[in-house]
């Protein structure tokens, strides 16, 4: 079965603490009628520090959507290669061994996708398949894992690379004074992450099943409004109740595969805010300690969108990983409202299966790869938030 290997994660060098964020909000929005509410929400996010791709003074300026998007492309090309290189080394592979690149990001736009630039510049084969995902927001990390799993299951022996590149600070909107936007200014951070899903061999999470769930008619709960100045974050007051519908989806998927969602050994969950984890734990009967990796990511980096699940997984590796055979759940939540859920178990391979170094074309329909690879074992609109948001920071899933 496909194995999700150790991720590589990098954050930019510029930082802002929660106290600095609160002081900045008091300075910039001293006359805002909802400032006390905004301050309480930021204090309750669980975020202690965030990393920014630019110095704070430049982050607060808005040179225009075109300039910001150009900066997104420049910074992505500068920061992604080192993270990808480390992820490949973690998996015991080279760029030429990768058959699919899944690139996820919701904070900038490029066409062609950065995947084309990566193939041309980072040593990937010209027949590497590309799957850019731009509109699943924070759920895209889970979606990337699931689509990589699907691909490697369909083509035994194939390997997939996942890359999440999120520069949330480039979406800062200084003239948007809605409560939801002001809250986002104290929540989101910047990061780049990558991980390999090996078709065989490797140490990490053996991916065994996955599923998706959409909360009906919730498209406007978490959304972007695209204006002349770029992406404006929208958050609905119904988001705090998200787990009422998403937790049963997690439990149902686990049950269909003979598992109890409340009795897993590890949980890698996207944390948009502490209440998401609190509510999920309440619904599933999971002890807060089992969400420690997600909480650590939120505290140290903020909500880094699609990169959260990869950073939380990195922390599981850093802790030494669970015992072989331990079972767990990975889940990403985001716009839609969408949940992307994976079930897996921990596997340790003493010697990695030999990487495939020759160019092997993929078949046009699911089936074994030719050649040696076949022999391998296989969140109300912003205007209404001023009076509607609760004082407990649930924020985006």
Give the catalytic positions in this structure: 138
DSSP H stretches of helix in the chain: 18-28, 35-43, 56-60, 65-91, 114-121, 140-154, 179-184, 243-256, 274-284, 292-301, 308-318, 385-388
Report strand pairing: 3-4 vs 8-10.
Answer: unpaired
Closest CA to 101 of 82, 123, 79, 68: 123
Put residue 96 in one of left, alpha, beta given phi > 0 → left and psi -120 to 50 → alpha.
Answer: alpha
Put residue 204 in one of left, alpha, beta given phi > 0 → left and psi -120 to 50 → alpha.
Answer: left
Query: What separation in angstroms does the CA of 374 have from each of 192, 207, 352?
Result: 32, 19, 16
Phi, psi at residue 196, to the nearest 5°? Answer: -105, 140
Residues 6+ apart with CB under 8 A from 89: none
Q: Which helix (H) or strand (E) holds 327?
A: strand 327-334
How far apart (Å, rounded) are the C-alpha atoms in residues 128 and 93? 15
């Amino acid at each position: 079965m496909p194995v999700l290997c150790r991720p590589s994660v990098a954050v930019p060098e510029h930082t802002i603490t929660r106290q600095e964020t609160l002081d900045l909000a008091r300075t910039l929005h001293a006359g805002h009628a909802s400032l006390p509410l905004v301050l309480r929400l930021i204090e309750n996010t669980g975020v202690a520090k965030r990393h920014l791709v630019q110095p704070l003074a430049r982050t607060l300026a808005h040179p225009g959507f075109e300039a910001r998007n150009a900066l997104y492309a420049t910074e992505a090309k500068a920061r992604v290669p080192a993270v990808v290189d480390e992820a490949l080394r973690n998996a015991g592979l080279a760029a030429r061994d990768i058959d699919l690149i899944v690139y996820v990001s919701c904070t900038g736009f490029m066409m062609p996708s950065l995947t084309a630039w990566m193939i041309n510049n980072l040593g990937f084969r010209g027949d590497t398949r590309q799957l850019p995902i731009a509109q699943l927001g924070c759920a895209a990390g889970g979606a990337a894992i699931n689509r990589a799993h699907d691909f490697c299951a369909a083509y035994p022996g194939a390997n997939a690379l996942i890359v999440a590149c999120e520069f949330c600070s480039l979406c800062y909107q200084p003239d948007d004074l809605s409560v939801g936007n002001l809250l986002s200014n104290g929540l989101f951070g910047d990061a780049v992450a990558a991980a390999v899903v090996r078709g065989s061999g490797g140490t990490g999470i053996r991916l065994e099943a996955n599923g998706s769930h959409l909360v009906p008619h919730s498209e406007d709960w978490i959304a972007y409004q695209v204006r002349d100045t770029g992406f404006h974050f929208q958050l609905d007051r119904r988001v705090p109740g998200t787990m009422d519908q998403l937790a049963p989806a997690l439990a149902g998927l686990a049950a269909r595969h003979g598992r109890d969602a409340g009795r897993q050994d590890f949980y890698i969950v996207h944390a948009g805010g502490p209440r998401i984890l609190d509510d999920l734990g309440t619904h599933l009967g999971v002890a807060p300690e089992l969400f420690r990796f997600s909480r650590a990511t939120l505290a140290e980096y903020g909500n880094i969108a699609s990169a959260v699940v990869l950073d939380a997984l990195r922390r599981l590796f850093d802790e030494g990983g669970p015992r072989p055979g331990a079972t767990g759940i990975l889940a990403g939540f985001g716009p839609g409202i969408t949940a992307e859920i994976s079930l897996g178990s921990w596997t340790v391979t003493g010697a990695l299966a030999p990487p495939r170094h020759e160019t092997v074309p993929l078949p046009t329909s699911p089936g074994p790869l030719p050649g040696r690879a076949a022999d391998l074992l296989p969140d109300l609109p912003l205007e209404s938030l001023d009076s509607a948001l609760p004082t407990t920071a649930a924020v985006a899933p």
